[in-house]
Structure 1
Amino acid sequence: MPRSHSIICIGGQYEKQLLHNLLDQYNTLERPVANESDPLQLSFGLTLMQIIDVDEKNQLLVTNIWLKLEWTDVNLRWNASEFGKVKDLRIPPHRIWKPDVLMYNSADEGFDGTYPTNVVVKNNGSCLYVPPGIFKSTCKIDITWFPFDDQHCTMKFGSWTYDGSQLDLQLQDETGGDLSSFITNGEWDLLSK
């Protein structure tokens, strides 16, 4: 006689219902704040993984960077106990509002060199977006003392359309970024942040 086993799938049904509840009427154009006169608090950081190239001729710096953006979306909150204790979701960035932070001195053909990874959304509305990317930025390079030259390259990030009254961008690391995963380059040394 064949045996039957019943399997209870808890996570799937709750996540499906939760995603429907959160995203069905969600407006990706709406800045997610409780009061429109308040700025959205955005924490911004980056991890410099590698200097890929310093192109003296074209005055370009090419880097591998992971951005880190954190904010709270008041429209993406839920009570985890009502949804099978689901405490976080992974949502594609095109499905929710996300800050339009770009590199101002980008020299990339597509301007935004990031890969659109999922946004991790927790039940309290906190959102974590960590898109990796290859960034091509302009850099004034002086080769007077080549090959013993030091170059100072700046990468400037900010919101493209929001001003400070709408988006309050706060740096996570005042020294310029996380270098804990930095891979050294045989041709160039990183002197300081």
Structure 2
Amino acid sequence: MRAWAFSGKHEKRLLDDLLRNYNNLERPTRNETETVVVKLGLTLQQIIDVDEKNQILTTNVWLNLEWTDHNLQWNESDYGGVSDLRIHPKYVWTPDILMYNSADELFLSTYPTNVVVEDSGKCTHIPPGIFMSTCKIDITWYPFDDQYCDMKFGSWTYDESKVRHHLVPLRRPVL
């Protein structure tokens, strides 16, 4: 059973047509040699905690992911002017981006928000999450110290020949 909200018959028909033979395990490329380019950005909402003893930084972050899925393109005039859709991420291919230096034993950091899919095939996924990352904290000069903590993200299973990431500057997403 598929669960999503329809605003009319054109969206329903479009979703049925797009997902009829769609395989969310397939990389969204025209051929096997093509690389999927994923734009990756972060929007820091809040520093929740800095745990000096355990050397863990806890943050509220929005991941910003953009890629093109050639299997999710359509001509909007064929579908009553529908130019974009919102689809649950379990129904479409999404990059398997994880935080490499996660201090969360489950690695489950983000909420599964919908993927916004445009008629061009452009997919935008902005899942919010609470991230716990390892951070070497040096208190030698406390209270006049500065701390630098890395958040290392990347694909867990794809190498650069299959999925390439481009870091984009921090920005506030608009949807």
* Fold match (TM-score > 0.5): yes
Query: In the TM superposition, what are the counterparts of 1:170-181 in structure 2 within 5 Å?
Result: 170-173=166-169, 177-178=170-171
Q: Distance in 2 between matches of 1:148 and 1:46?
A: 27
Aligned length: 168
Query: In the TM superposition, what are the counterparts of 1:92-131 in structure 2 within 5 Å?
Result: 92-131=88-127
Q: Distance in 1 between matches of 2:108 and 2:154?
A: 12
Q: CA deviation at 1:25?
A: 1.3
Residue 84 of structure 2 is aligned with which of 76, 84, 88? 88
**Identity score, percent:** 62
* Cα RMSD after superposing both structures: 1.6
Check whether the contact 1:103–1:112 (CA below 8 A) recurs between aligned residues: no
Match of 2:139 in 1: 143
Deviations 1:11-62 (A, max 9, x none): 5101111111111211011001012101111111111111111000111000
Q: Distance in 1 between matches of 2:39 and 2:62?
A: 14
Point out where structure 1 has 5 or more consecutive residues left out of the alignment. Answer: 1-10, 182-193
- Stretch deviating more after TM superposition (105-114 or 119-128): 105-114
Runs of 4+ in 1 over 4 A off after TM superposition: none
Match of 1:79 in 2: 75
Match of 2:31 in 1: 35
Check whether the contact 1:62–1:134 (CA below 8 A) recurs between aligned residues: yes
Q: Whose radius of gyration is greater, 1 or 2?
A: 1
Q: CA deviation at 1:70?
A: 0.3
Q: Secondary structure at the match of 2:12?
A: helix
Point out where structure 2 has 5 or more consecutive residues left out of the alignment. Answer: 1-6
1:19 aligns with 2:36: no
Q: Distance in 2 between matches of 1:103 and 1:73?
A: 23
Q: TM-score, normalised by structure 2?
A: 0.91
Deviations 1:100-148 (A, max 9, x none): 0111000113213111100000011000000011100000111222233
Q: Distance in 2 between matches of 1:109 and 1:163?
A: 23
Q: TM-score, normalised by structure 1?
A: 0.83
